[in-house]
Amino acid sequence: MSDRPHLVTKILASLFVAAAAFWIGLAHFSITEKWQQGQHARWLSLSSTGDALLAQGKLDDAYKAHREGLAIAERLVASDRSNVKWASKLSLSHMKIGDVFLAQGSLEFALKAYRDGLAIAERLDAMDGSDRDLGLQSGLMGSYEKLGGLLARLKKFSEALKAYRDALAIAERPAAGDRTNTGRQSHVSSLYINVGNLLVEEGSLDAALTAYRDSLTIAKRLAAADHSNARWQRDLVVSFQRVGDALVMQGKLPDALAAYRDGLAIAERLAATNRDDVGWQSYLSASYRKLGNVLVAKGNLDDALAAYGDSVVSAERLAAADRNNTGWQRDLSISYMKIGNVLLAQGKLEDALRAYRNNLAVTQRLAAVSNNVQQQGDLSVSYSKLGNVLVAKGNLDDALKAYLDSLAIAQRLAASDRNNTQRQRDLILSYEKVSDVLTTQGRLYDALKVRRDSLAIDERLATADRSNVGAESGQSASYVKVADTLQGQMPQIRAFSLSR
């Protein structure tokens, strides 16, 4: 009997300890949950602020906001490693930091951030199994798309293609089950375009054409469902253009012409009803230019000239609307050059000269405000084109000046990147044009010196890549031209010897 009160006391004490532990645990859980909620609210605020700062171009401040958000996400994950929500925020923080690096031009840092974010998203997807949580799938798809876009920019085309295909595989699943969801259908269509673009870069033209046609099929269905939806009509034009581009590369010009004309008909209709919509004017100008390119390839120069003329009308309207838009200014310069090319081929030299001078005026203006490679390269080409028509007119002095201006730029570009084969070949071409004019003028010693400069580059390229038959044949052609120039010099050499 005496042991009984003692046993009851022990039981009551145990119950008290258990109850105390329960209430302490509950209090701790409540405190942790409140802390997590507060941290999450802070993360949301920083994320929103960082996005706004990025949109405003305040990149350093945007980075600080997203970096602080990343630190919070890391603490949340550390507090509960099984919490999918916190892990998804951490993944998103990495992607947002990648966005800032991308805007800063720090591509390798952006690549690392995107890959860090993607790794978390892939791990969450693997944990999800077959449940296919739409939120997780959406995050994973977005990560693949951002990574794919950056890899394409870095010219890592195979890796970019895999990333876009992974994104497409995710996008197709819900889209296939709900064809009435136009947003999903449109997204799938755009992903097919991205996949097609990368297949073109890899030289897989048949596969690229299939991807573009898959995009076109969806775009046609969406555009037919709502003729007033400008975005879907625009997507349809783009799909027709991409199909046309692939067909051109395959040499299927009649089919390409049909695709371009289908796209052009839509662009003409919408540009006519939306004359103030600069987007449609841009698509219209590009459509005419692509049409003109095919007509030139088919030898239909009159129709090509008409198409390029229509392209100029839209391009001039765009360029006048915003002289600071370098893209529109460049499009105008290209349209002028295309017109000049056709007129030169038709033998209409004065008209060609006028078109090339219009082209040169634009490229000079662009190169004056931007020293980037593209603008400088465009200017070099403009001088060269001007030189071509001046040679055709027999104005060799002015042609030589134009070619020398082109050569000076080509020399700078080639010197800035000696491993860029295309720039070296552009320089060789510039040397050859200068040498041709000097030879025609009878200035054979000067022509020989220029030929030898050209030959030195040819020899270096051939030595660097002995498997390149094109480089070897280019070198042989340079030797022949040097020999021709030397042969032309022989009468002058004999006359010099006799005079002594």
Considering the domain 40-177, what is its CATH architecture? Alpha Horseshoe (1.25)
N residues, the chain: 500
| pLDDT greater than 70 at residue 473 | no
Instruction: Average the pLDDT over 136-144 and give the result.
Output: 91
Exposed/middle/buried for residue 258 (C-beta within 10 Å: 0-12, 13-18, 19+): middle
| Closest C-alpha among 132, 229, 136 to residue 189 | 229
The crossing angle, in degrees rounded to 10, of helices 278-297 and 230-249 is 20
Residue 449 scores a pLDDT above 90 = yes
- What is residue 469's predicted lDDT score, i.e. its pLDDT? 45
Q: Of 451, 453, 456, nearest to 486 (Cα)?
A: 451
pLDDT score of 9: 67
Q: What pLDDT is stored for residue 16 in this prediction?
A: 62
Q: What pLDDT is recorded for position 222? A: 94
* Residue percentage of the chain with pLDDT more than 70: 85
d(CA 134, CA 439): 71
Predicted pLDDT at 126: 85
pTM exceeding 0.75: yes
For residue 475, what pLDDT is reported? 47
Contact 133, 153 (CB under 8 A): no
Judge contact between 362 and 340, C-beta under 8 A.
Answer: no
Judge whether residue 386 has pLDDT over 90.
yes
Evaluate whether 346 touches 301 at the Cβ level (below 8 Å): yes
Q: Is the pLDDT of residue 457 over 60?
A: yes
pLDDT at 173: 85
**Cα angle 327, 329, 331; round to 5:** 70
Q: Is the dihedral of CA 496, 497, 499, 500 positive or negative?
A: positive
- Angstrom distance (rounded) from CA 450 to CA 436: 10
The whole-number pLDDT of residue 300 equals 96
User: What is residue 252's predicted lDDT score, i.e. its pLDDT?
Assistant: 97
CA dihedral 256, 258, 259, 261 (to 10 degrees): 120
Q: Taking the domains of the chain in order of start, what are their residue ranges?
A: 40-177, 179-273
Least trusted range by pLDDT, from 263-272, 416-425, 461-470: 461-470
Spatial distance between the Cα atoms of 65 and 339, rounded to a whole number of angstroms? 51
pLDDT over threshold 80, residue 429: yes
**What's the average model confidence in pLDDT over 227-254?**
94
- The rounded distance, in Å, linking the Cα atoms of 198 and 193 is 9
The Cα-based distances of 474 to 226, 423, 478, 480, 484 in angstroms read: 55, 15, 6, 10, 15
For the stretch 5-57, pLDDT in tens is 666 666 656 666 655 555 555 445 566 788 888 989 999 999 999 999 999 99
pLDDT at 494: 43
pLDDT band at 467 (very low <50, low <70, confident <90, very high): low
Helix axes 373-392, 396-416, angle to 10 degrees: 160
* pLDDT tens digits along 332-384: 999 999 999 999 999 999 999 999 999 999 999 999 988 889 999 999 999 99
Instruction: Kindly report each contact of residues 285-289 with a partner whose C-beta sits within 8 Å and lies 24 or more positions away, as own/partner.
Output: 285/311, 285/312, 285/314, 285/315, 285/318, 285/331, 285/335, 286/241, 286/311, 286/331, 287/237, 287/241, 287/260, 287/263, 288/264, 288/314, 289/331, 289/334, 289/335, 289/338
How far is the C-alpha of 371 from the C-alpha of 248, rounded, in Å? 33
209 CB neighbour count, 10 Å cutoff: 22
Q: What is the pLDDT of residue 125?
A: 87
Question: Do 40-177 and 179-273 agree at the fold level?
Answer: yes
At 230 the pLDDT is 87
What does the pLDDT read at residue 211? 98
pLDDT per position as a tens digit, 483-498: 455 455 545 534 433 3
Looking at the predicted structure, is the pLDDT value of residue 110 above 80?
yes
Encoded amino acid at 175, one letter: A
| Other CB atoms within 10 Å distance of the CB of residue 219 | 25
Nearest Cα residue to 127 out of 112, 114, 140: 140
The residues, ordered by sequence, that sit 6+ positions from 58 with a Cβ below 8 Å of its Cβ are none
CATH topology of domain 179-273: 1.25.40
149 versus 4: the higher-pLDDT residue is 149
- Provide the b/e sequence for 174-186 (b: ≥16 CB within 10 Å): bbeeeeeebebbb
Residue pLDDT, tens place only, 260-306: 999 999 999 988 887 778 888 888 999 999 999 999 999 999 999 99
Average pLDDT, the chain: 87
